[in-house]
Amino acid sequence: MFQCMQCDKSYQRKTHLLRHEATHTKQLESSCPICKKSFLKPEVTRRHAKICAKKHDQPPPPASKPGRKRQSCDSCFSTKSACDRKSPCSRCCLLGRECSFETQQNQMLIKAPVSIPSSPASMNLKLGRNLTKTDGPFFFLRHFANPSVKKDRLAIGETAKWSVPRNLETIYSHLEHALVPTDPTEALLGNMELPQFSFPLSSISTDDYLIPQYPWEVNFPSKLSNQLTELMKELVETSASMNFSSSEHQNMLEMADLTTLFSVSNISTFISAFFKSLHWHLPIIHFPTFDPGNLSNSLLLSIFLSGATYSAPVDGTILSPWLFDVAEEYIFRKLTNISTIPSLEEPTSFLPTIQLIQGALIMEMLQFSRDDMKTRRRIRIMRHPCLVSTIRSLGIFHLKRGPLPKASDDRTWRLLVAEEVCIRVACWAFLADGFLTVCFKNHPALSIFEMNCHLPWTSELWEADDAASFAKILSMQPEGSAIPPFKEVITHLLETPETEPQIQWSHSLSPENLLILIYALNSLAFQNRAGLLRYFSLSTIGRAAKNWKLIWDSVISSLDKTQFLHLGYPKHAEELWWLLKATLEIANQQDARFAYLDNTATDELANLNDFIQWCHRSIE
């Protein structure tokens, strides 16, 4: 609490105290015309006048305790969103997430009883005393691991509200080119103009989209409509070839079931929905050079399903789980059937393969968002190892970029982007591997010290619209800021003593870099507990965690919080540090018994949930 030095009022936040102290030193600017009570700000006066007790012939309300009274639920309060204060509120119901009023009711976030492994009552985590249970270290993880949450557990849909506006002119031109009729009779059309495309960015609801209709696409098919037709045929063939039970036979795909979804009319909606939501959590597709008319079938399929998932239903279309299973089978069949290994030195020949890998990564995340244990197990033990093995065989885990030029033309920029896409594919495949280890105790399919590629660019460089913008951002970076390859960064974190100053290049690490690195440290801790990596002691990993936290605090202090705090998973990286800190502390206590700390893989989140809930209650 922060106490006013001139009166007996106190506040929970320093900013509130400073605002109050101004009333002692500044002349009050306005007063209520009804009761003559004065206020520092005119807008406060207007709000008071609307509900003034004297205006309604009522006695003045009793003096309340100092500090602002929260009325919204915990989730709406954290995102600064409107809340109708019902229990549960309508917004949480719509998003399918947990709704609680912990501060007002002084109750636990999870109201249902949680089964906690037997542990000594005297055990406490010394995670920090400056945290409350509402804004504590496990806000997102408690939501993610909570078994009662059935929808949007990964909080991808929520990201769309904070997504930055996009300049879609380039995509307009690419779409117009891909939608030019390929039929010879197009010459008869003369100078017929294609309609303008509209990509509203205010929300993710299709009600807000002006979806263009293409009545000519049946009689005059375009390159893109032909590709969609080919894709639907391949999905139907894949569905027919899959092994299925009698109960699933009725769900076999038919062309008639797919034509409503895979139509040219849905392209604008689904592409916009993809880049407003999933893109920020899996930024492996370069938006400024994205060409919807030059995509492989696999990548086109994954983007279509992503957009359909995070958009409102189109024309009453219902997304069948079987469609996602068939899409998964379709993409990973292609992945396992790669016959030739393209050269990384020739980006043109490598494009179809890298798009196939991008589609597989997106498909992994889409399938995990379904929250189905059978699907999750298939991804964990079959699909993900196949994906890692494919990337390994291509040599991408060892890809290093050359020195970045201070100035570059369009061709050079595009070559650098193609190289960066490969590096991002490697790093987000590693991040997916760490996710499986941290959440499901899956033994890593990828060694940390196999990651000899560079870390990704910053978001500013990655999102640069063109070569000129890219060069301008690059020129503003300080000298000596080049970050070494992934393996060397981890080695520095493990070997640098806590007493030494921060590493020279540490200020150049981005939140995305730090997210990947904290997954790496959590993976090391798991391998140590499982007896797979005894040559790194827990104290060494703990020292690396402290070094990581110093860098994290330094990096985020210089960021624009209005954007960073709302986009993607990097904002939750510090929660993974708290989780690592808790596991390291408890691992040193011989009588601690938690299922989460053993090395048995699982396909449910119960172990993680129990551990997170116990840690949350044990904060001193």
Q: pLDDT tens, 290-346?
A: 988 889 999 999 999 998 888 865 555 567 888 999 999 999 999 998 866 666 666
User: Which is higher by pLDDT, 42 or 270?
Assistant: 270
Reported as type and span, the H/E element at residue 322 is helix 321-336
Q: In the 8-state DSSP scheme, what is residue 620?
A: -
Q: Mean per-residue pLDDT for 607-614? A: 90
Q: Please tell me the predicted confidence (pLDDT) of residue 536.
A: 77
Residue 67 scores a pLDDT above 90: no
Q: Please tell me the predicted confidence (pLDDT) of residue 376.
A: 92
Query: CA separation (Å) from 115 to 100, 102, 411, 606?
Result: 20, 20, 58, 9
User: Which is higher by pLDDT, 29 or 86?
Assistant: 86
Dihedral sign, Cα of residue 112, residue 116, residue 122, residue 128: negative
Question: Which amino acid, residue 274?
Answer: F
Dmax (CA) for the chain in angstroms is 85
Q: Mean per-residue pLDDT for 565-581? A: 85
Helix/strand/coil for 589: coil
**Band of pLDDT at residue 216, cut at 50, 70 and 90:** very low
Q: Please tell me the predicted confidence (pLDDT) of residue 164.
A: 66
Q: Please tell me the predicted confidence (pLDDT) of residue 205.
A: 42
Tell me: the pLDDT tens digits for 218-240? Answer: 445 778 888 999 999 999 999 99
User: Which is higher by pLDDT, 287 or 13?
Assistant: 287
Tell me: the pLDDT tens digits for 69-124? Answer: 556 777 677 666 677 777 777 667 656 566 776 544 433 333 333 333 444 333 45
Residue 538 scores a pLDDT above 90: no
Compute how many other C-beta atoms are within 10 angstroms of the C-beta atom of residue 240: 12
**Band of pLDDT at residue 200, cut at 50, 70 and 90:** very low
- CA 331 – CA 334 distance, rounded (Å): 5
**Band of pLDDT at residue 436, cut at 50, 70 and 90:** very high
Residue 480 scores a pLDDT above 70: no
Helix/strand/coil for 163: coil
Q: Please tell me the predicted confidence (pLDDT) of residue 218.
A: 47
Residue 570's nearest CA partner among 493, 517, 615, 521 is 517
Q: Please tell me the predicted confidence (pLDDT) of residue 608.
A: 93
Residue 63 scores a pLDDT above 70: no
Residue 210 scores a pLDDT above 60: no
User: What is the DSSP track for 251-311?
Assistant: T---HHHHTTTS-GGGHHHHHHHHHHTHHHHS--S-GGG--TTS--HHHHHHHHHHHHHTS
Residue 549's nearest CA partner among 36, 117, 127 is 127
Residue 413 scores a pLDDT above 90: yes
Residue 52 scores a pLDDT above 70: yes
Q: Please tell me the predicted confidence (pLDDT) of residue 327.
A: 96
Is pTM beyond 0.85 here? Answer: no
Dihedral sign, Cα of residue 586, residue 589, residue 593, residue 597: positive
* Average pLDDT of every residue of the chain: 77
Q: Mean per-residue pLDDT for 519-527? A: 94
Q: Which residue has the tokens 């005297």?
A: 122
For 195-259, give the secondary structure using H, E and C. CCCCCCCCCCCHHHCCCCCCCCCCCCCEHHHHHHHHHHHHHHHHHHHCCCCHHHHCCCCCHHHHC
Which of 177-181, 281-285, 372-376 has the least mean pLDDT?
A: 177-181
Query: CA separation (Å) from 451 to 180, 183, 250, 445, 572?
Result: 44, 49, 45, 12, 23
User: Which is higher by pLDDT, 513 or 345?
Assistant: 513
- CA 367 – CA 365 distance, rounded (Å): 5
Which of 27-41, 123-137, 357-371, 398-412 has the least mean pLDDT?
A: 123-137
Residue 260 scores a pLDDT above 80: yes
Q: Mean per-residue pLDDT for 128-144? A: 64
- CA 76 – CA 72 distance, rounded (Å): 6
Q: Please tell me the predicted confidence (pLDDT) of residue 130.
A: 40
Instruction: Provide φ and ψ at 31, rounded to 5°.
Output: -140, 155
